[in-house]
């Protein structure tokens, strides 16, 4: 009997939350006590995690939800994970938990809290399941997720369908609106899933836009 950490990673619209909810439903069928957390930064749903599907109009619609507690800092995490009255701890959208500034490690406060909880309950059957993006829109490691992947007992890496060529190889959440900030909450109006061949790095898009401007002004 040993505590376990499971990661579900991949781009937006890859089905990470859908997979997480499926795992939690299965745990509930097995009469396991489930506790769900999410970052307060994710304001799309206030008190729940939600899986989404792209509809015929190109937008998204919610397909399933489960109630969740929003976390702002390590104190919130400690308060909502104390005791042993839960068997499964689930966390969605973990990439929104920030790293330290300046960065001291690859875990940040959230990753360290997870690591410490695993240590404290190492000889229990605690199961921690975390879902999130491992890459941001610029192909850079995103928040504490890559560090947590290094600690994980198992990792499910999902892909999406490229919204340009339709291949089942979407690996990155390509941002289609301007801006350099890493943390931008969005949906299909702000992001597309793209494969490696269709992905345009921000610097490359910037150069292309500059060329078009120069052509326009003669």
Of 87, 76, 82, 144, the closest CA to residue 110 belongs to 144
Least Cα distance to 135 among 92, 109, 173 occurs for 173
- DSSP assignment of 18-37 equals HHHHHHHHHHHHTT--EEEE
Out of 61, 93, 190, 212, which one is annotated catalytic? 93
At 111 the three-state DSSP class reads helix
Contact indicator for 98, 108 with CB cutoff of 8 Å: yes
H or E element at residue 91: strand 88-91
Has 61 been annotated as catalytic? no
The radius of gyration computed from the CA coordinates of the chain, to the nearest angstrom, equals: 19
Q: Point out the residues that are catalytic.
A: 93
């Amino acid at each position: 009997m040993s505590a376990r950490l499971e990661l579900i990673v991949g781009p937006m619209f890859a089905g990470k939350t859908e997979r997480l909810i499926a795992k939690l439903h299965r745990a509930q069928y097995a009469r396991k006590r489930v506790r769900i957390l999410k970052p307060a930064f994710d304001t799309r749903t206030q008190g729940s995690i939600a899986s989404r599907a792209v509809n015929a109009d190109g937008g998204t619609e919610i397909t399933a939800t489960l109630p969740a507690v929003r976390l702002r800092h390590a104190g919130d995490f400690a308060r909502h994970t104390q005791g042993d009255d839960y068997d499964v701890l689930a966390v969605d959208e973990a990439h929104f938990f920030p790293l330290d500034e300046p960065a001291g490690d690859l875990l940040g406060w959230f990753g360290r809290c997870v690591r410490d909880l695993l240590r404290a309950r190492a000889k229990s059957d605690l199961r921690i399941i975390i879902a999130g993006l491992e890459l941001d829109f610029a192909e850079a490691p995103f928040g504490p997720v890559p560090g947590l992947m290094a600690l994980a007992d198992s990792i499910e890496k999902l892909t999406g369908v490229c919204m340009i060529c339709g291949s089942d190889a979407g690996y990155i959440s390509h941002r289609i609106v301007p801006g350099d900030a890493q943390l931008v909450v969005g949906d299909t109006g702000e992001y597309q899933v793209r494969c490696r061949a269709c992905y345009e790095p921000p610097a490359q898009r910037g150069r292309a836009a500059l060329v078009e401007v120069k052509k326009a002004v003669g």
